[in-house]
Amino acid sequence: MYRIDPKEVVSELVGSRSESVAKSTLSKLGKEIADRPSDPAMSSKIIVGVVQAIEFLALVLVGMAVFAAYAPDGDLLHYLALSVATSTVALFGQNIVKNHSIQKYRTTLTQITRALAVWAVAVLIVISGLFLLKIGEVYSRAWVTGFAVTGAAFLIFYRIAVRSLIIQWTQAGRLKRRTVLVGGGPDAEELIRNITKTATNDIELLGLFDDRADKRSPELVADCPKLGKVKDLVEFARLTRIDLVIVSLPVSAETRVLQMLKQLWVLPVDIRLSAHMSKLKFKPRAYSFLGDVPVFDMADKPISDWNIVAKWLFDMVFATIALIAFSPIMLITAIAIKLNSKGPVFFKQKRHGFNNELIEIYKFRSMYTDMSDEKAAKLVTKDDPRVTSVGRFIRKTSIDELPQFINVLRGELSICGPRPHALQAKADDRLYHDAVDGYFARHRVKPGITGWAQINGWRGETDTVDKIMQRVNHDLYYIENWSIFLDLYILFMTPISLVSKNEGAY
């Protein structure tokens, strides 16, 4: 399978300096499209997961309802176990015949026929098991028959209801992935026509971006408008929601593909390389498909679908517990700050968050009010006269960061993630994004209170390009290797690193 190794791209990103940023050439139409309101997309994987869970639980409840009606004198646990077993077999069967997908939910006869066939097989398998184990006499025949018939009736009405809801969401555009193309010419035209034919329910084409300015790249390709050059796509993605980028370039053009990835890597989107015009043919499992269009998966949006749910729950639970647990320390700190110097207890500062959006984070004030540096144009150094005596202690121990648990509950930060940097933070008198090419790739996920870089010693002062490159390198590693277990490890190691790797924090 043809594949670009993401590690190679990350290595190039953190190992080179950025070039000067050219003036934006995003078209007027591109800006108009970006300004249009768009509802958040609904995750197909989450929808499918919820539909399966409801179907399973409902079938178990159907079994219990039939038990209450036809076998109230029987052993509740026996009937519950058989209801769960039958529903479990049916759940696996529905997945084996691929009857749980957004595409199948849009059908009527196909999904209902498959659902009933699987349910019938599941009931027969369980009945056969009861016969072979010679325990059939334990269960009421009326219950078995009633469960089979009522379960089938439920599946018919449930699948019709699911279809109705999916069609409604489809028509409202909630299931469509907002998509842009990179590339132009005949290849892009053929790609657009194929997508329009077979993936209209799942793809909303916003436009295309192409660096060429001659007749090979017209302003309109198969009714899809050109919105700007490839570099403008980053600006466009910051102005509006994009879910998918399709690169329409020959599979053999590895150098050009790498160049495109270096520009697009900073975006929190799925990136696919179209293979519809490739003369090289691979096995079907080498591709993923958009409708009938084969594509190669070049990069996936980090922390998506169920992982977003898991991380959100992790953040909410831990932030709530942390605020309660640290409230005495926070109260003492607030009193100490008030007694130590004039001014507010909290310090608010604008920083870059997810997808480079501006957020306002909270910290305990550690500087004299008249010397506060909201934009962090000057890094805090050892024995910095701007820092109060209380401020020096709370910065050293990271107590000044505790109010950021409020940011977590507001949905602006995560517990773990790349640390958000101040807007004017510099290394060697260069803004971070000028010092490190691909710097904004660290904003593909929500920033965090603590992170992989911090527990590995890259906390505090970043006065040199090498230090900020090391921090970015660790941040990108975290994004590419995220898991709940990694977050737990970072949490466990954070207090240890505060003691053992705290030389750079002032």
The winner for highest mean pLDDT among 4-13, 167-176, 271-280, 477-486 is 477-486
- CA-to-CA separations, 221 to 126, 254, 349, in angstroms, rounded: 57, 24, 45
pLDDT score at 483: 92
pLDDT band at 10 (very low <50, low <70, confident <90, very high): very low
Q: Give domain limits for the chain.
A: 6-39+176-299, 44-171, 306-500
Strand ranges across the sheet with 224-228: 220-221, 224-228, 203-209, 177-182, 244-247, 270-274, 293-299, 288-290
| Crossing angle for the helix pair 327-340 and 306-325, to the nearest 10 degrees | 60
pLDDT score at 379: 67
Tell me how far apart the terminal alpha carbons of the chain are, to the nearest angstrom.
50
Instruction: Quote the pTM value.
Output: 0.78
The winner for highest mean pLDDT among 115-129, 171-185, 419-433 is 115-129
More confident residue, 67 or 219: 67
Calpha distance 293→301 (Å, rounded): 20
Report the pLDDT averaged over residues 54-71. 93
pLDDT score at 403: 95
Which residues contact residue 259 at a Cβ distance below 8 angstroms, ignoring those fewer than 6 apart?
none
CA atoms within 13 A on the CB side of 238: 17
pLDDT score at 151: 95
Give 379: exposed, middle or buried? Use CB within 10 Å, 0-12, 13-18, 19+: middle
pLDDT score at 254: 67
Residue 26, pLDDT above cutoff 90? no
Kindly report the average pLDDT of the chain as a whole number: 84
Residue 13, pLDDT above cutoff 50? no
pLDDT band at 83 (very low <50, low <70, confident <90, very high): very high
Q: Which of 445, 449, 505, 498 is nearest to 476 (CA)?
A: 445
Task: Render pLDDT for 228-260 as a digit per residue (tens, 0 to 9).
Answer: 888 888 888 888 889 999 988 766 666 777 777
pLDDT score at 484: 93
pLDDT score at 1: 40
Calpha distance 370→364 (Å, rounded): 15
Task: Render pLDDT for 169-213 as a digit per residue (tens, 0 to 9).
Answer: 988 888 888 999 988 777 788 888 888 888 777 888 899 988 777
Residue with the two structure tokens 């084409």: 205
Select from 3.40.190.80, 3.40.50.720, 3.40.50.11290, 3.50.50.60 the CATH code of 6-39+176-299: 3.40.50.720
3-class SS at 274?
Answer: strand
Task: Render pLDDT for 261-315 as a digit per residue (tens, 0 to 9).
Answer: 777 878 888 988 887 666 556 665 667 888 778 888 888 888 888 899 999 999 9
Residue 413, pLDDT above cutoff 90? yes
pLDDT score at 24: 65
pLDDT score at 85: 93
